[in-house]
């Protein structure tokens, strides 16, 4: 079973990005992105890559970000 850790701060996002941790992105209580890695972020946007050419941009104010860790 996986453990889920909510990414709230810049430090949380930075650590997840450096470890290339898998993340889940929720918007309006729905999963909109799963098993991607954070490749870039700033105050308003988080960029998540799930494949070679699959890059998505998520608004930090509209979405919730969770790191998925294996137990």
Specify the DSSP class assigned to residue 53: S
If we measure between CA atoms, which residue out of 2, 5, 3, 1 comes closest to residue 67?
Answer: 5
Residue 49 token pair = 């890559």
Judged on CB neighbours under 10 Å (0-12, 13-18, 19+), 3 is exposed
CATH class of the 2-70 domain in this structure? mainly beta
Q: Domain-by-domain residue ranges, the chain?
A: 2-70
pLDDT at res. 57: 97
Q: Is 47 within 8 Å of 38 (Cβ atoms)?
A: yes
Q: pLDDT by residue (tens digit) across 10-55?
A: 999 999 999 999 999 999 999 999 999 999 999 999 999 999 999 9
pLDDT at res. 70: 80
């Amino acid at each position: 079973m996986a453990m889920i850790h909510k990414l709230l701060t810049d430090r949380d996002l930075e650590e997840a990005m450096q470890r290339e941790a898998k993340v889940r992105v929720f918007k309006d209580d729905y999963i909109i992105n799963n098993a991607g890695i954070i490749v870039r972020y700033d105050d308003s946007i988080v960029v998540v890559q799930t494949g070679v050419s699959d890059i998505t941009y998520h608004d930090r104010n509209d979405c919730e970000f969770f790191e998925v860790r294996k137990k």
